[in-house]
Amino acid sequence: MLISANELAQPLVESVFQKVLALGAFPRLKLTFSTLLPVYFSTATDEQIDTLLEIEELDYQKAQALINIRAPGNTRELSGIDPSRMTRRMKTNKPIQDWVISGKVRWVLCNYPTQALAQEAEMSLFDYEDFLYGATNIDWEEQSRFQNKIKEAFDAGSEVRLVGPGTDLRFNIGGREGKKCDGQNNMPDGEVFYAPLEESAEGYITYDYPAVYYGQEVNNVFLEFKQGVVVKATADKNQNLLERVLETDAGARKIGEFGIGVNYGIERFSKDILFDEKIGGSIHLALGNAYPEVGGKNQSAVHWDMIKDLRKGGAIYLDGKVVQEDGKFKI
């Protein structure tokens, strides 16, 4: 079992390490320091950024389970880094990403509460801990049953239309089965997601919340789609970053994922996609790489989730019928 974390998560790492041993499994620690990422991106040569060592791949390919514990010390540590270097490293690491999402390794991802996460969410550390536990310690069996109803409706549908302030976007999910996220991998969890047909998106969407990319905020993102491709992209802040990410590869301009947030224990935006994409009454669209497990074919080094809040004046239509209004389902 591969346990990936940094020094700030030491109490949880120690507990997990002990549990793994108690199960009779073999723990392998993949530990780093919370300060090293900006050092890497500011110092590494082009060859180092573009090279994936065989031993790095083997760590994942030989593991039967992966436990990834996130505990950032500074959520803005990469704000001064050229985004092209980060997207290049994402391309380099794509074989690992593809391996993990292929289903060949069991995995779970969670946060360990840190001052940086609390500050980013504009909470005290104690309040952030309560926020984390409130999103996590829910009745997952009941959540799974709730997600069944949503999945059954959308699996039987075809055209999805999203309507809200600055938004009127249509795309097709016909023939593709969705996937429930009911506490098996991400923690917290709470979404049902699909891979839209690659050339089906038509219309436009305006995002209420900042789209965060490696700690950099892109505010008031507006995207216009034609035949599935972003043809216009604007932002009030960091538009250059938005454009650079869209230029990563051909797949970066297409929608790889349509996700429906259904964890109503998460009520506020925290600038952390692990939580924000699950906000009950929200949806998210990811530019870039799609998940093959739901029939997605789009390939990209990018997978950038952006959140749209539908709780005030928003609606989801499925084949012309309103299935959610103001964040509340009518299924």
Domain of 27, CATH number, reads 3.40.1830.10
**Residue 98: is its pLDDT beyond 90?**
no
Q: For residue 129, is it within any domain? A: no
Domain presence at residue 289: yes
Of the candidates 263, 3, 268, which has an alpha carbon nearest to the alpha carbon of residue 109?
A: 3
pLDDT, position 331:
85
Query: Are 191 and 104 members of one domain?
Result: no
How many other C-beta atoms can be found within 10 angstroms of the C-beta atom of residue 3? 21
- Distance (Å, rounded) from C-alpha 56 to C-alpha 30? 10
pLDDT value of residue 91: 87
Residue 119 lies in a domain: no
One domain, residues 153 and 94: no
Q: Are residues 96 and 152 in the same domain?
A: no
Mean per-residue pLDDT over the chain, rounded: 94
Residue 215 has pLDDT above 80, yes or no: no
Domain that holds residue 248: 140-329
For residues 80 and 193, membership in a common domain is answered with no
Domain match, 166 and 235 both: yes
Q: Is residue 92 part of a domain?
A: yes
Cα separation, 259 vs 191, whole angstroms: 6
Task: Assess whether pLDDT exceeds 80 at residue 90.
Answer: yes
Shared-domain flag, residues 196 and 90: no
Q: Does position 258 have pLDDT exceeding 80, yes or no? A: yes
| Cα distances (Å, whole numbers) of residue 63 to 4, 96, 100, 269 | 12, 12, 10, 34
Using pLDDT thresholds of 50, 70 and 90, give the confidence band for residue 21: very high
pLDDT value of residue 149: 96
Q: What is the pLDDT of residues 142-184, one digit of tens each?
A: 999 999 999 999 999 999 999 999 999 999 999 999 999 999 8
pLDDT at 301: 85
What's the confidence (pLDDT) of residue 103?
79
101 and 195 together in one domain = no
- Tell me, yes or no, whether 99 and 210 share the same domain: no
Do 243 and 153 have their domain in common? yes
Domain assignment of residue 124, yes or no:
no
pLDDT score for 226: 97
- Asked if residue 164 and residue 67 are part of one domain, the reply reads no
Say how many domains are in the chain.
2
Query: Is 217 inside any structural domain?
Result: yes
Query: Do 27 and 104 belong together in one domain?
Result: yes
Does some domain include residue 247? yes
Is residue 218's pLDDT more than 80? yes
Same domain, 151 and 6: no
In a domain, 26, yes or no: yes
